[in-house]
Chains A and B, each alone.
Chain A
């Protein structure tokens, strides 16, 4: 059936089964390829998007439950001041290696900084532990969050 979705500020229509996970609606039906498939069971965070501002694993959200919720993906997160700052920090510190997880990392980091503009290390651990980086760029992810929040990082 046809679902109307609010993605990155636009209303988009997708004719899919109601149990289709949001990730696959975004990727295969709407051509929004930033969110990535990593595990399919909400364990790795590569598919993270914002649903009404909260970081959610789009691989585990059936499209039928979304209603009019505002969905933001990596393609749209830079339209917000916090998202933009996070992307800039990620770029400045060249966080990525392969880069596959980084869309999800940026979405989680943006949600964290929106809620807590000056996160502690413990805040970062808690907010970011749902996002696996197989290349293990964790030291730079931490540094980039600190940079985006205007906090000094240890040398």
Chain B
């Protein structure tokens, strides 16, 4: 059993007929160690070199628009020392035994693979060099490589990797732990802006997505579930649906009670999706009574307010004496912040194609998290996990929604029932009404500043959704969340409102809401202290480079540096016309340090125009693919703005009210401001970019609105009616 301190050498090599070298490496690294079930050493990567010198690199993780199918192979290709033009990438199947955990979440792909996959590439290169050196009878140390060719300068010989591949397969595999890696100054691929490997297929409309999967003999399905999450089917007019032309079957799925499993509903299966969709309208489903049928957003908020006035359920952190500190403060501020449920709204609605045949299952799924899907399918249908094959298909957006696999188990169940391959596609309305929403939450804050303008006390009574002392999924807040540890007197109390609404991770879970609360309230305290919001923040961050210990340590110095850079680039302090303002915020999440400044102009009717955004980011010493990195940052910024300006899922009578882009608007191009991004290349290992740019943008916007109007936004989405000045 590997203990993580050793990287065992490769335990398998294969020479495929005609395919040249195939390398598999066992790597016991962080990815393996972090995996539940601890399977020990795992085969994590493949490199295939063909006789024609083309190189195939397997992309192990699911692609949902984060660019990982390009970025992970770049790491291998760099150290393999090939020309990127030689490289073809191939999407891996879900294969836990070979690749370890394959998922798109937590902006983790960069920190988990930065070291490992470069070592995989470097080891393969060493083997190819060794093969050449043996053949020429020269020391391997005299050989160099470039663009997929081994050179020996002394004898002026060279050989392509393709010509060496078969021989290289018999070379002893080097120890991955000690394999030498390139100096960053020699990088030819890492750090270069590369287009996504699928870009040309995207712009020419090639079938790439889950919704595009075609399997011979495939039928099309729709599945209607209760608006009240988890309610059972009382009755449905199946005969009416079956009477629609093209419909093959309509049936009730009993389902279970676990909200992220197979839920009750009615399936309609047809020769084409439109027929199934039309037939669904004839089902006239009556849903059974359900215990959560009376829950509502308004009632959750009322409960939260009531709880805020009572003793908390528990105290998560209590440093110093907050009550005494606030009593002695020169000025105190009290504020109640609230944020709603929001939906992921992937533009590609949830879908999955599945074929259940003879006790075995084949699945084509746009999922961010295939392995738990396999386990869910195995458990629900009583199939052995090894009898399930999952093809990871490009997803039309992820944002955390596809970490869940409810659509997968539905597709498999329906396929089993009809005895044919089935493509299940949700309607937009299904998608919006059956999400795992970003949980709503309420923070009741008290803070105080002294005469010198320092924060002397901070008290947050956080009322979240949850039961029995456990927050609902993605509804928690860490006791080390900023500004904990930065203040002498800090208390964080926690109470919970029981909730039967499914919740889950949405891009920068937790942080996407907490940042709004914390960074807005810091602004309130800065204003109370009569201090400049940037200077006030820098004072709060202090002069220690690191606060706390790893892994939860907070690099205050890195954060101060990005705050200063964002302020400088935005021209912080410059004079702006009436109705305009600059707002600043920072947030640390997913190992990334981000500060952002928003310039906003608020019209007399309250309409908000985001004029420009400045981003300062520290994700370590190396941005692997600047093209992808900027796209992720810009997308995160606009995603956050879109949510703050527009988005809210309202629960009424136990169900989501909003159902499509008519009542749940997403940002459109006319609202998108220019974004200027600057990186600080600090001496830290590179970290991910799928999420950490999002959290600061929401409070930066709200703080800018305050600077422009004097009105404080304490509730999302922003109500422009309260900003009217005319």
- Please report A residues at the B interface, Cβ cutoff 8 Å: 16-17, 20-21, 24, 27-29, 31, 33-41, 43-44, 46, 73-75, 78, 87, 90-92, 94-103, 106, 124-126, 128-142, 154
Query: When A and B form their complex, which 4 residue pairs have the shortest distance between CB atoms, in order from nearest?
Result: A34-B205, A98-B65, A100-B396, A74-B205
Count, A-B residue pairs, CB within 8 A: 180
**B contact residues around A87 at 8 Å (CB):** 203-204
Say which one of B118-126, B158-166, B669-677, B700-708 lies at the interface with A: B669-677
Contact B207 A33 (CB under 8 A): yes
Contact B670 A101 (CB under 8 A): no
Contact A91 B669 (CB under 8 A): no
Contact A41 B662 (CB under 8 A): yes
**A contact residues around B203 at 8 Å (CB):** 87, 90-91, 95-96, 102, 106
> Which of A37, A100, A124 has the most chain B CB atoms closer than 10 A to its own CB?
A100
Contact A37 B211 (CB under 8 A): yes
> Which of B204, B211, B667, B669 has the most chain A CB atoms closer than 10 A to its own CB?
B669
> Which of B203, B398, B642 has the most chain A CB atoms closer than 10 A to its own CB?
B203
Contact A135 B635 (CB under 8 A): yes
**B contact residues around A95 at 8 Å (CB):** 203
Q: Verify if B215 is at the interface (C-beta below 8 Å from A).
A: no
**B contact residues around A35 at 8 Å (CB):** 205
Q: Verify if B650 is at the interface (C-beta below 8 Å from A).
A: no
Q: Verify if B395 is at the interface (C-beta below 8 Å from A).
A: yes
Q: Of the candidates A21, A33, A34, A134, which one forms a contact with B274 in the assembled complex, judged by CB atoms under 8 Å apart?
A: A21
**B contact residues around A98 at 8 Å (CB):** 64-65, 347-348, 394-398
Q: Verify if B632 is at the interface (C-beta below 8 Å from A).
A: yes
The B661-714 residues at the A interface (CB cut-off 8 A) are: 661-662, 666-670, 672, 674-675
> Which of A41, A106, A124, A135 has the most chain B CB atoms closer than 10 A to its own CB?
A135
Say which one of B35-43, B193-201, B382-390, B434-442 lies at the interface with A: B193-201
CB-CB nearest in chain A for B212: A33
Contact A138 B638 (CB under 8 A): yes
B431–chain A nearest beta-carbon distance, Å = 10
Q: Of the candidates A27, A33, A102, A129, which one forms a contact with B202 in the assembled complex, judged by CB atoms under 8 Å apart?
A: A102
B130–chain A nearest beta-carbon distance, Å = 37
Contact B202 A96 (CB under 8 A): yes
Contact B204 A78 (CB under 8 A): yes
How far is B204's CA from A75's CA once the two chains are assembled, in angstroms? 6
The B290-348 residues at the A interface (CB cut-off 8 A) are: 345-348
**B contact residues around A37 at 8 Å (CB):** 211, 349, 425
Contact B347 A46 (CB under 8 A): yes
Contact A138 B274 (CB under 8 A): no
Q: Verify if B245 is at the interface (C-beta below 8 Å from A).
A: yes
Q: What are 14 sample pairs from A and B whose C-beta atoms fall under 8 A apart?
A: A21-B274, A33-B212, A40-B427, A75-B205, A94-B627, A94-B628, A96-B199, A97-B66, A98-B347, A99-B65, A99-B202, A125-B669, A128-B668, A137-B635
B278–chain A nearest beta-carbon distance, Å = 8
How far is B273's CA from A138's CA once the two chains are assembled, in angstroms? 31
Contact A136 B661 (CB under 8 A): no
Contact A40 B428 (CB under 8 A): yes
* Given A38-B347, A91-B200, A99-B396, A137 and B208 contact (CB-CB distance below 8 Å): no
Contact A97 B632 (CB under 8 A): yes
**A contact residues around B274 at 8 Å (CB):** 16-17, 20-21, 24, 28
**B contact residues around A40 at 8 Å (CB):** 427-428, 660
**B contact residues around A17 at 8 Å (CB):** 245, 274-275
**A contact residues around B200 at 8 Å (CB):** 91
Q: How many residues of B contact A (CB 8 A)?
A: 62
A52–chain B nearest beta-carbon distance, Å = 20
Contact B631 A94 (CB under 8 A): yes
Q: Verify if B67 is at the interface (C-beta below 8 Å from A).
A: yes
Q: Verify if B78 is at the interface (C-beta below 8 Å from A).
A: no
**A contact residues around B346 at 8 Å (CB):** 134
Q: Verify if B493 is at the interface (C-beta below 8 Å from A).
A: no
Contact B273 A24 (CB under 8 A): yes
B676–chain A nearest beta-carbon distance, Å = 9
How far is B276's CA from A17's CA once the two chains are assembled, in angstroms? 13
Contact B669 A128 (CB under 8 A): yes
How far is B608's CA from A90's CA once the two chains are assembled, in angstroms? 30
Q: Is the interface of A mostly helix, strand, loop or mixed?
A: loop
**A contact residues around B639 at 8 Å (CB):** 135-136
Contact B634 A139 (CB under 8 A): yes
Contact B634 A137 (CB under 8 A): yes
> Which of B211, B220, B427 has the most chain A CB atoms closer than 10 A to its own CB?
B211
How far is B192's CA from A94's CA once the two chains are assembled, in angstroms? 13
Map CB proximity to A onto B411-447 as digits: 1 under 8 Å, 0 otherwise. Answer: 0000000000000010110000000000000000000
Q: Verify if B146 is at the interface (C-beta below 8 Å from A).
A: no
Q: Verify if B209 is at the interface (C-beta below 8 Å from A).
A: yes
Q: Verify if B488 is at the interface (C-beta below 8 Å from A).
A: no
Contact B667 A136 (CB under 8 A): yes
A98–chain B nearest beta-carbon distance, Å = 3
How far is B508's CA from A41's CA once the two chains are assembled, in angstroms? 30
CB-CB nearest in chain B for A17: B245
Give 20 A-B pairs besides A40-B427, A137-B631 with Cβ atoms closer than 8 angstroms: A16-B272, A17-B245, A33-B205, A36-B211, A36-B347, A37-B425, A38-B349, A43-B662, A90-B202, A91-B195, A97-B65, A97-B397, A98-B64, A100-B209, A102-B202, A103-B202, A134-B396, A136-B634, A138-B672, A139-B672
* Given A74-B205, A94-B199, A138-B672, A132 and B661 contact (CB-CB distance below 8 Å): yes
Contact A28 B272 (CB under 8 A): yes
The B610-634 residues at the A interface (CB cut-off 8 A) are: 627-628, 631-632, 634
**B contact residues around A124 at 8 Å (CB):** 669
Q: Verify if B604 is at the interface (C-beta below 8 Å from A).
A: no
B674–chain A nearest beta-carbon distance, Å = 7
Contact B669 A103 (CB under 8 A): no
A133–chain B nearest beta-carbon distance, Å = 8
B602–chain A nearest beta-carbon distance, Å = 20
B208–chain A nearest beta-carbon distance, Å = 7
How far is B549's CA from A16's CA once the two chains are assembled, in angstroms? 65
How far is B65's CA from A132's CA once the two chains are assembled, in angstroms? 15
Q: Of the candidates A29, A100, A125, A154, which one forms a contact with B348 in the assembled complex, judged by CB atoms under 8 Å apart?
A: A100
**B contact residues around A100 at 8 Å (CB):** 65, 209, 347-348, 396-397
The B235-267 residues at the A interface (CB cut-off 8 A) are: 245
* Given A43-B661, A75-B205, A138-B669, A99 and B198 contact (CB-CB distance below 8 Å): yes
Q: Of the candidates B196, B399, B660, which one forms a contact with A39 in the assembled complex, judged by CB atoms under 8 Å apart?
A: B660
Contact A73 B635 (CB under 8 A): no
**B contact residues around A34 at 8 Å (CB):** 204-207
B65–chain A nearest beta-carbon distance, Å = 3
CB-CB nearest in chain A for B676: A155
CB-CB nearest in chain B for A73: B205
**B contact residues around A102 at 8 Å (CB):** 202-203
How far is B671's CA from A141's CA once the two chains are assembled, in angstroms? 13
**A contact residues around B631 at 8 Å (CB):** 94, 97, 135, 137, 140
Contact A134 B208 (CB under 8 A): no
Q: Verify if B16 is at the interface (C-beta below 8 Å from A).
A: no
How far is B670's CA from A142's CA once the two chains are assembled, in angstroms? 10
How far is B668's CA from A142's CA once the two chains are assembled, in angstroms? 12
